[in-house]
Amino acid sequence: MSQYENVIMLPQTNQLKCLYTIIRDRNTRRGDFIFYSDRIIRLLVEEGLNQLPVESCQIQTPLGVAYDGHKFQGKICGVSIIRAGESMEQGLRDCCRSVRLGKILIQRDEETATPKLFYVKLPEDIPERYVFLLDPLLATGGSASMAVDVLLEKGVKEERILFLNVLASPEGIEVFKKKFPKIKVITGMIDQALDEKKFVVPGLGDFGDRYYCI
């Protein structure tokens, strides 16, 4: 768990520590980076699903016995912040068949570290869904905040948004939670700080470059 309200950190198991050591290593080959990042992303999606509300339902087992079970209260969709966020889409598909996906393109000005919105494509019924916002890194919180602003403008309720990220900075969490206290942030690990260039430290480099580039 995390010290921040509505911020859920994956259990820091021996397995998770080893996975993060691999993806942080500058000498890790791209194929291994993808493989072990995908394992972490799958864990994040599973935890996100754990946070969704359920309701009671009754089904019949193959033996003709009534069983009092549960089902999710509503449909979900994933929204990735292009391009690094797209790396998390397959992990969501692996857990949720035929899940709807949306995309938001936000690019950061490298000199000012401020985000700019370029492209939005979302499911028409997104206000009725729970949204998994996908972006591997929460650094300054600027891009994620802008993406949430877009979702809110489209009618999504704040409490229906879950923000999944592989790695987060304390500064980014502070900014994000101050603006959106009702959103659950689900992260694998919280790092030490941001450096003078607004990069997460010790970090793992540019996630998108390492995931997509040879």
Active site residue 140: no
Active site residue 206: yes
Rounded to whole angstroms, the Cα distance separating 65 from 42 reads: 33
4-31 pLDDT, tens digit each: 889 999 999 999 999 999 999 999 999 9
Rounded to whole angstroms, the Cα distance separating 204 from 63 reads: 51
Q: What is the mean pLDDT of residues 184-198?
A: 95
Out of 112, 114, 125, 149, the active site residue is 112
Active site residue 209: yes
pLDDT of residue 188: 98
Residue 214 pLDDT level (bands cut at 50, 70, 90): low
Which of 159, 157, 136, 140 has its CA nearest to residue 209?
Answer: 136
pLDDT of residue 8: 97
Length of the chain as a residue count: 214
pLDDT of residue 79: 98
* Residues 180 and 174: beta-carbon distance below 8 Å: no
* Structural domains in the chain, sorted by start: 7-212 (3.40.50.2020)
Out of 25, 125, 195, 209, the active site residue is 209
Rounded to whole angstroms, the Cα distance separating 204 from 18 reads: 14
Q: What is the mean pLDDT of residues 157-170?
A: 97
The mean pLDDT of the chain is 94
Tokens of 159: 């409490």
Q: In which element (H, E) is residue 209 found?
A: helix 207-212
Active site residue 149: no
